[in-house]
Amino acid sequence: MKNGFINNNLILENLENGKGTSKAEIREIIAKSLAKNRLEPEETAKLLQVTDPELLEEMFEGARQLKKDIYGNRIVYFAPLYIGNKCINNCLYCGFRRSNNSIVRETLSTEELEEQIKILESKGHKRLILVYGEHPCYGADFIAETMKIVYNTKNGNGEIRRVNINAAPLDVDGYKKLKEAGIGTFQIFQETYHYDTYKLLHPEGDMKSDYEWRLTGLDRAMEAGIDDVGIGALFGLYDWKYEVMGLLYHTIHLEEKYGVGPHTISFPRIEPAIDTDFYDQTKYKVSDEDFKKIVSILRLSVPYTGMILTARENPNVRREIIPLGVSQIDAGSRIGIGGYTKDDYIPDKEQFQLGDMRSLDSIIGEMSDNGFLTSFCTACYRSGRTGENFMSKAKPGEIQNFCRANAILTFKEYLLDYASDETKVKGENIISKELASIEPKRRKLIEDKLKLVECGERDVYL
């Protein structure tokens, strides 16, 4: 492996040296994070080796506090939309692998895509992440065209205001096409940062077998002008402590080379998929307790970066994990090709199994019960608060000055246009509590804009 920012020996050395750290030093590391400073790899490695229950609870509490300090009570909602599941790779763990004859290969037509979008809009969604198999037919031109269809498809008051992409790495020219089409975030999961494991799981000769090409995929995106990028690892392919270190080193690389790190970090756990034996064979599955550590340590390590928890996880896990630092979740999700029409499992068209298939409204209602403010905000993207501009406000916690107000405004839209009667009551209570905690001058500004929303205006933001 040529790329120097993932150094296997250095990661192993960090983890070994992190053992036996004193309680006092662990508390100093937590305090550094609470001061909104990114941790160094040596410090994160020490947190990864903590087993003392008292210290673990202090880490969990630190992660909860950081979430409140930087993101407040807000949770941003999105939905995944799978465009096509053709794939020329044979990744051992993936339901979409080319040798899986149980998968029905399908790509949404323009009419089918518009139908899926209208269904999502009818539920209240404003943000999508489009997902594509890794296949030559899903190149930059195709992705850009599907993005345009999404943005141009309206349904009453419904519209999609931000389109993020999860697709195969592109060259710089390809990314420029997506930039021109109005991309939000481009997301690439390295899957595993451990080189030997990566090579084992991605057979030689496939598009995806090139570790280096995938690892530097977001470098090319940033060189093309896409300044919001998302990283992630698929936990269950290799040792979870190693993957956390890989995510941190990737973050540091982007910060040092481009002046801004990832907009989001994702940490999906491997799930079963039709006719895919790897899930039952891997020895690296992550327990719920270790999953809590992963999320908390990532929040402590990179205090200012968005963190995504998906509907792979079941409702009970989501309830426990979200307060530990999560800022974005999907809801009402379906991942089969055409899944929002059928509104059910479609195993022969899905990459893996979902754990939480509750409706968007039911999840928002529960989250409101738990004191969370729903947000469909896309204002930063359209106001130029992206990349370094966004991080300059996120790192000191100042982004809340915009995000809380815009969350209230977009939540009001949802309550007026889409919410059940029960969720409306809960949501109005949350908005009232949030407004009461805002200083009077700012509150008056938000209340004036809320009146515009109540009078029928949409997409009102600061």
pLDDT tens-digit profile of 148-185? 999 999 999 999 999 999 999 999 999 999 999 999 99
328, β-bridge pairs: 76, 308
Domain ranges in the chain? 8-65, 68-380, 384-454
State the pLDDT confidence band at 260, using cuts at 50, 70 and 90.
very high
Residue range 51-68: mean pLDDT, rounded: 97
Angle between helices 400-417 and 421-436 (to 10 degrees): 160
Can you give the pLDDT at residue 403? 87
CB 104 within 8 A of CB 348: yes
Cα 324 from Cα 326, distance rounded (Å): 6
Other residues' Cβ atoms within 10 Å of the Cβ of residue 367: 24
CATH of domain 68-380: 3.20.20.70
234 contacts: CB under 8 Å, gap ≥ 6: 93, 189, 191, 192, 268, 269, 270
For all residues of the chain together, what is the average pLDDT? 94
* Structural tokens at position 305: 């970066």
Can you give the pLDDT at residue 231? 98
CA atoms within 13 A on the CB side of 99: 11
* CB environment 207-235: b (16+ within 10 A), e (fewer): bbbbbeebbbbbbbbbebebbbbbbbbbb
Can you give the pLDDT at residue 452? 96
Residue range 307-333: mean pLDDT, rounded: 97
State the pLDDT confidence band at 379, using cuts at 50, 70 and 90.
confident
User: Cα separations (Å) of 258 from 167, 206, 221, 226, 417?
Assistant: 22, 29, 11, 11, 41
Can you give the pLDDT at residue 224? 98
pLDDT reading at 457 higher than 70: yes
pLDDT more than 70, % of the chain: 95
pLDDT reading at 396 higher than 80: no
pLDDT reading at 197 higher than 80: yes
Read off the pTM.
Answer: 0.95
pLDDT reading at 349 higher than 60: yes
pLDDT reading at 85 higher than 60: yes
State the pLDDT confidence band at 6, using cuts at 50, 70 and 90.
very high
pLDDT tens-digit profile of 222-231? 999 999 999 9
Amino acid at 95: G
Q: C-alpha angle 82/165/352, rounded to 5°?
A: 40
Can you give the pLDDT at residue 274? 93
Can you give the pLDDT at residue 347? 86
Indicate the DSSP class of residue 82: E
Question: Furthest-apart CA pair in the chain: how many Å?
Answer: 62
Can you give the pLDDT at residue 11? 98
